[in-house]
Amino acid sequence: MPHPYMAFSIEECERLSLLPQKNTLIMATSQSSMDIFMLSVFSILLRSNPEKLEHLMVCINGADKRCGDPTLQDIKQNFLEELRNMKWHDRDMPLTVIRAWSRVGHSHSLEMAIPWVHTEFYTIIHDDVIILHKEWCEEAIESLNEPKAAICYFPPLLNGGVIKKIHNNKWFLELPHVNSAFMVCKKSCLTESGARWIGYHFEHEFNLYDRVDIKKFLDHHYELNNIQSFPVIEKPYSGLSMDIGSWIYNNLLENKCEFIPMKKNTAIHLMGMSWQNNNSKEEKVAINKNEIKSIHEEIKKNENFFLLFEKYKNAQSNT
């Protein structure tokens, strides 16, 4: 609908200024090891339709020399700069590298990249997701062509729900947030929602009944199957946790938008490759050995990709 003072609404501005039926992929990476990170990147390049995937942005975030060791991030930047000089389906590699130091986290890195998106859709993906299904991009776009569809997600939709947690002998309330491991978003819908990916975590004493209509709050979250532990009502909370995408989820629901699941065999998410110990990582690699072997074999068939992978696969941080 036209805007009474701006002539065009935000949704119309987004829709009319973006490349239709095209997708931009955004990956934020920090501490995930080089081999897993590269498997994820190469799975995108080898298993995406170049007629649909217009651009790839990788946001490297992490420590600087004042507060940690940036070696791993430096190695990732070097790898990406070499990759950027290669061809992808007979055209220049459509890769942008964004580097952010120190106190810039995962969701902040995503927010830095999103204003650069010039396509109707954008995908956010973790650096430990390996794409399996070559038609993922066109299938997601097709599902998002439905008028109210806003996000096509790799299940499950949510990480967490309404949860009461004890931290330092104090109650904290956690609210639902989306599982941002791998999802394709209709940019105009998310812009119109007014929400950002950034989460909020703070200490502040409050009684839930002072903040919400308890019946409406419970009915709403029960209807969505979001209640994971019955909230504390009779005692005060000491803080609140809204992780990445909490407000995206809430605002899209308020706008009556829809969330469409991908097929479960679209990808594998190794999970926790940035922070779990080596034993846990090796376990997950072993569980998914067939899928990992498959992407290794595809990389070998591309001489330039294979040489680059071999060059950087054992590179690691000094710490």
Phi, psi of 83 (to 5 degrees): -60, -40
Could you write out the three-class secondary structure of 211-270?
Answer: HCCHHHHHHHHHHCCCECCCCCCCCCEEEEEECCCHHHHHHHHHCCCEEEECCHHHEEEC
* pLDDT at position 318: 52
Name which of 127, 61, 49, 58 is nearest 95 in CA terms: 58
Residue partners of 74: CB distance under 8 A and separation at least 6: none
Enumerate residue ranges in the chain where pLDDT < 70: 275-277, 316-319
112-146: pLDDT as tens digits: 899 999 999 999 999 999 999 999 999 999 999 99
The secondary structure element, H or E, covering residue 24 is strand 19-29
What's the pLDDT tens digit per position in 222-274? 999 999 988 888 889 999 999 999 999 999 999 999 999 999 999 999 987 77
Domain 10-159+180-193+256-312: give its CATH code: 3.90.550.10
Per-state percent for the chain, helix, strand, coil, to nearest 5: 40, 30, 35
Confidence at residue 176, expressed as pLDDT on a 0 to 100 scale: 95
What are the sequence ranges of the domains in the chain? 10-159+180-193+256-312
Structure tokens belonging to residue 131: 């794409």
